[in-house]
Amino acid sequence: MSDGPGRVLIVEDDEAIRDSLRDLLEDEGYTVALAANALEGLARLWESRPCVVLLDLMMPVMDGFGFLAAARGPDGHGLDVPVVVITAAPRSVAAAADADDVIAKPIDVDHLLRTIARHCRARGGSERARP
């Protein structure tokens, strides 16, 4: 059973961006979980069961690349949730993250909402990440 259009995990170290994204998505009916870095994000991933993860690449403690590697596991099959990288890094750097989508900062809100909706619809709302 899903909550509204789905659950979204935001992994972003910039508090203002994190809070703005949360407010935007909650206004759209999404249930939102937050993490200030990738280590927190990994913990929240398994408990929040999102239909999509919004992931910054450049963060302290552990970056987005580390998050993806840890979440996908050594065989690449651990993470069963689409990841949308949101970054100010050049697209070539973001592409190296092997995410499902990349959205550049500054964020085009309409594009972001369409991207999230597409992934959540494809997953049937909230989904489960395989531990």
Q: What's the pTM value of the predicted model, to 2 decimals?
A: 0.87
Evaluate whether residue 128 is within a structural domain: no
Q: How many domains does the chain have?
A: 1
Question: Which pLDDT does position 100 carry in this prediction?
Answer: 87
Evaluate whether residue 95 is within a structural domain: yes
Tell which wins on pLDDT, 34 or 127.
Answer: 34
pLDDT band per the 50, 70, 90 thresholds, residue 44: very high
Full domain range(s) for residue 25: 7-123
Evaluate whether residue 52 is within a structural domain: yes
CATH number for the domain spanning 60: value is 3.40.50.2300
Per-residue model confidence as pLDDT tens digits over 15-31: 999 999 999 999 999 99
Residues 125 and 91: their CA atoms lie apart, in Å, by: 28
Residues paired with 11 in a beta bridge: 35, 55
- For tokens 């070539």, the residue is 92
Evaluate whether residue 51 is within a structural domain: yes
Evaluate whether residue 2 is within a structural domain: no
Contacts of 58 (CB under 8 A, 6+ apart): 13, 64, 87, 88, 89
Name the 3-class secondary structure at 58.
coil
